[in-house]
Structure 1
């Protein structure tokens, strides 16, 4: 039996709008979608390495094929899990955070970066908590090792990315898909949240994963 796991985005939670929407649609077709809380262990000590280890720990035995659905930083995490674990047979990436540091850090400004590096922590607004929480600079040093050029395993991959994405530009996904013929990129008329295209997202996931009809909300 196949297993489906959803990985939420940076400073988000399993209660995010996309996670809940997709989870309800899976439930309507009697398919289980596991949505781990990637804040486990505390947001302040979050790293991509920790996310990879946390998700891998809930993988079933090697005989069970896994489909990972990842949003933003969860999408980047899913891609690296797919590179490392052969039982990951399919990836669905929603506005994946390719080039995350190169897009995010410049918006902070040089002064804020220096303060963060010097003090070791920096307040980041956490949408799941609805407040700012300190994030260790270890997040930056750890994330720097997860480069897209490492992702070369030919896993069937569907990317859904908004053409008006203000956080991770759609060009990041275009560049990723260009040299990887196993990647299908669908560009949607939306922003990073993809909140106005939930039905389109579900139909794309359903067809790509060969799921039964249903899942209408």
Structure 2
């Protein structure tokens, strides 16, 4: 199972999600790809992810879990990766979500539609409850952090996930607009983990 978690106010229609989904289809892995629309509530998001993972474990126990997360989805992905001891790909991940998302409390719309998106004050506490220490086994992680990220501090990503696989990209941006240049390395990491990882 390859569980992709999009970022704040994003959706399964995001550029990176669509790129990875297309590449996995060419490899015959479309049945392994799961990319849900995430609720605004962090607690509901994690509950949904647990439900999806447990359904997968029940129906396809031989297929390992790999979690991929972008921005806020990277924060969720790290939490799930620690819980399930699963490998994870993190794309410009949020490290201090409660601090960074507090200023976004209020009403918004989604990036890929006009659908309303309400981020409530209580969600900040839900984010705080999901905080993780730096991973004890950073080699289970593949980090892409961009020095040109205009939203998040790449130094925090690099410090929190020190010792992980992946790379620090000089320049680029929060959305990783040059993502196509790094797809092959990300897919190689995912495919290797699908071959060698077993679920607890």
TM-score range (shorter-chain normalised) is 0.7 to 0.9
The equivalent residue for 1:174 is 158
Gaps of at least 5 residues in structure 2 are 193-200
Contact 2:42 2:126 in 1 (8 A): yes
- Specify every segment of 5 or more residues in structure 1 that has no aligned partner in the other structure, as ranges: 40-45, 117-121, 212-217
Distance 2:138 2:154 in 1: 21
Q: Residues 187 and 155 from structure 1, CA distance in 2 versus in 1: closer, same or farther, beyond 3 angstroms? A: closer
1:79 aligns with 2:60: no
Match of 2:168, SS state, is strand
- TM-score w.r.t. the length of structure 1 is 0.76
CA distance in 2, matches of 1:191, 1:154: 24
Which residue does 2:41 correspond to in 1? Answer: 47
CA distance in 2, matches of 1:104, 1:16: 20
How far the C-alpha of 1:198 sits from its partner, in A, is 2.0
- Residue of structure 1 in register with 2:195 after alignment: none
Taking the aligned partners of 2:137 and 2:113, their CA distance within structure 1 comes to 35
Distance in 1 (CA, whole Å) between partners of 2:134 and 2:160 is 11
TM-fit CA distance, 1:50: 1.5
CA distance in 2, matches of 1:50, 1:150: 24
Correspondence 1:22-37 to 2 at 5 A:
22-32=20-30, 33-37=33-37
1:133-189 CA-to-partner distances (Å, cap 9, x unmatched) read: 3322111121122223274455610011111101111111111123xx3x1241123
> What is the aligned counterpart of 1:194 among 176, 180, 185?
176
Aligned length: 184
- Preserved contact between residue 4 and residue 68 of structure 1 (Cα < 8 Å): yes
Cross-structure match for 1:6 = 4
Contact kept in structure 2, 1:100 and 1:168, CA below 8 Å:
no
Which residue pairs with 1:93 in the alignment?
A: 90
Structure 1: how far apart are the matches of 2:20 and 2:63?
21
Corresponding residue number in structure 2 for 1:43: none
Name the larger-Rg structure: 1
Runs of 4+ deviating beyond 3 Å: 130-133, 150-155
The answer for the alignment partner of 1:137 in structure 2 is 121
Shift of 1:131: 5.8
SS in 1 for 2:133: helix
